[in-house]
Amino acid sequence: MTKLNTYWRSLTLRRKWAFTSAAVLFISFALVCCILYVAINSWLLNEEKSSVTRSMDDLTAFFETRGSGLTIDEIQRNTGLMNSIIDKNQTVRILNKDGIEILRLNNTSEEIPAVPQTLPLKGYMMQQVKVDGEDSFVTTGHLRLGNFSGYLQLTHPLKALTSLMKYILTSMLLMGIIALIASWFISSALATVLLKPLKRLSSDMKRVADHRFEEPIQVTVESNDEIGDLVRVYKQMMAELESAFLQQQRFISDASHELRTPIQVLEGHLSMIQRWGKDEPDILNESLATSIDEVRRMKQLIEELLELARHEAKDQSQSADVFVQTEIVLKEMKTIAPTAEIKLHYNEDFQKSHVAISENAYRQILHNLLQNAVRYTSSIPSINIYLTFDLNNCTIVIEDNGIGMSPESLEHIFERFYRVDKARSREHGGTGLGLSIVKMLIDKYAGELTVSSILNEGTTFTIRLPLYLAQESS
């Protein structure tokens, strides 16, 4: 049994399918054949019994109509009528009380079957016994002709029935073998066709694994069955894995690229301190201040990179009060940029102020956009924030009087580390990740973000966030 299990586990799915299908079809065919064989055999036996019963009834009626005056000699002289009563393959014998044959009609069997010890006084007894080595029906009954008292015996061989059943059995066995072979080939062909998508899927998985997502996923299945569902789930999973892999590669590339500059600056100032800073207090203070700024910038850069790389799933139960969270961010901005003029406009009568986003994510979006508005301006920052609501969404519009952007720059502002004015970003500590984080968070919470800008006039960011409708039902 253990070897059989080991052999079964070593088979391919195609061969398992073919074996199983062939076995099921063969067993089903065998069961049908057995039922048909038994049914045909029973029906033919009943037909043979009916033939024997009909012949025996006709013989009994013949002797009864002739009366007691009929003698054995008369029967021997006139056997034609009795021959017309019985079938040509049946043998009729008249036996005396000792079972010795007195008269025989049709010599189809040489052996004289034994007379049963118990016979009914009227009628006859039918038995299935071996006669001359063949199965036969033998019927025996009492016979009285004048002074003669003996037995009337009819032997009906079943040789034709036996030969027919052997022929049927041989045919069924032959058809069973043919059905087994045919079912094996049909099952193999069907398994090959049905498992072809799985084979392509396996090859595609190996190819993608060998090339580490450098090759695209090529397997396609148009069917809506379980295999089609499996391929679609695989493609979705591989797309997510590829996204995670590329995100990891991008994170490593971006981090190494962006951290190189502050590290080089930090290394240069530390080397300067080591050479001349010990004896030059001005150089020491300047280098330490610059080094601290670069460390802070690296810290900010790493935190923002981790924020982008984290890509956590959103919490459906969280919500943020737009009014409350906006006021919190405005207070923070007054501390960071006290000279900036930031005005908030909204309709105080509107009651649905919760949006489907976490408080931290909302504050981070607003903080990044306001920081950019303050940073990218050539005059005193003037920023207007408009909050409007409809039945399903909250719209936040942020307008500034900054330097604006060209249409070419608008196409790239959400790319990582893209800076419209690289010198200004470097001067004010920008990392080029703020808008990427804003776009990621808005997409994460099923929001919409659009931007319009006029060079040297200002920029307008428009955010649409879905309202947190669960609060209404609670």
Tell me, yes or no, whether 291 lies in a domain. yes
Q: Could you tell me if 24 and 93 lie in one domain?
A: yes
Tell me, yes or no, whether 213 lies in a domain. no
The per-residue DSSP string of 297-330 comes to: HHHHHHHHHHHHHH-PPP-TT--EEHHHHHHHHH
Q: What is the pTM of this model?
A: 0.48
Per-range mean pLDDT, top range of 37-41, 314-318, 346-350 = 37-41
Indicate which CATH number applies to the domain containing 265.
Answer: 1.10.287.130
Check if the beta carbon of residue 404 is closer than 8 Å to that of residue 458: yes
Q: Could you tell me if 466 and 397 lie in one domain?
A: yes
pLDDT score for 85? 79
pLDDT-derived band at 347 (thresholds 50, 70, 90) equals confident
Tell me, yes or no, whether 38 lies in a domain. yes
pLDDT score for 398? 95
Per-range mean pLDDT, top range of 73-77, 249-253, 339-343, 358-362 = 339-343
- The residue among 274, 308, 342 that closes a domain is 308
Q: Could you tell me if 334 and 414 lie in one domain?
A: yes
Indicate which CATH number applies to the domain containing 415.
Answer: 3.30.565.10
pLDDT score for 274? 75
Q: What's the total number of domains in the chain?
A: 3
Q: Could you tell me if 362 and 293 lie in one domain?
A: no
- The model's pLDDT over 135-158, given as tens digits with 9 standing for 90+, comes to 899 999 988 877 778 888 999 999
- The residue among 308, 330, 364 that closes a domain is 308
Tell me, yes or no, whether 70 lies in a domain. yes
Q: Could you tell me if 423 and 355 lie in one domain?
A: yes
Rounded Cα distance, 324 and 264, in Å: 42
The three-state secondary structure class of 97 is coil
> What are the C-alpha distances in Å from 170 to residues 33, 34, 174, 225, 314?
11, 12, 6, 42, 71
- The model's pLDDT over 89-121, given as tens digits with 9 standing for 90+, comes to 888 888 888 888 888 888 778 888 888 888 888
Tell me, yes or no, whether 210 lies in a domain. no
- The residue among 308, 324, 354 that closes a domain is 308
Q: Could you tell me if 297 and 323 lie in one domain?
A: no
The three-state secondary structure class of 259 is helix
**Which residues have a Cβ under 8 Å from the Cβ of 102 and sit 6 or more positions away?**
72, 93, 94, 95, 96, 150
Rounded Cα distance, 84 and 343, in Å: 126
Tell me, yes or no, whether 389 lies in a domain. yes
Check if the beta carbon of residue 341 is closer than 8 Å to that of residue 333: no
Per-range mean pLDDT, top range of 19-23, 128-132, 350-354 = 128-132
Tell me, yes or no, whether 198 lies in a domain. no
Q: Could you tell me if 333 and 426 lie in one domain?
A: yes
Q: Which amino acid, one-letter code, is at 326?
A: T
Q: Could you tell me if 34 and 160 lie in one domain?
A: yes
Query: In this predicted model, which residue has the larger pLDDT, 97 or 265?
Result: 97
Q: Could you tell me if 353 and 402 lie in one domain?
A: yes
Indicate which CATH number applies to the domain containing 57.
Answer: 3.30.450
Query: Shortest CA distance to 59 belongs to which of 4, 149, 175, 141?
Result: 141
Rounded Cα distance, 358 and 165, in Å: 83
Q: Could you tell me if 12 and 87 lie in one domain?
A: yes
- The model's pLDDT over 266-314, given as tens digits with 9 standing for 90+, comes to 788 778 777 776 667 777 787 788 788 778 777 766 776 676 666 555 6
pLDDT-derived band at 395 (thresholds 50, 70, 90) equals very high
Rounded CA Rg of the chain: 52
Q: Could you tell me if 83 and 152 lie in one domain?
A: yes
Q: Could you tell me if 459 and 356 lie in one domain?
A: yes
pLDDT-derived band at 471 (thresholds 50, 70, 90) equals very low
- The model's pLDDT over 155-185, given as tens digits with 9 standing for 90+, comes to 999 988 889 999 999 998 898 888 888 888 8
Rounded Cα distance, 41 and 48, in Å: 11
The parent domain of residue 124 ranges over 2-166
Rounded Cα distance, 466 and 314, in Å: 14
Tell me, yes or no, whether 282 lies in a domain. yes
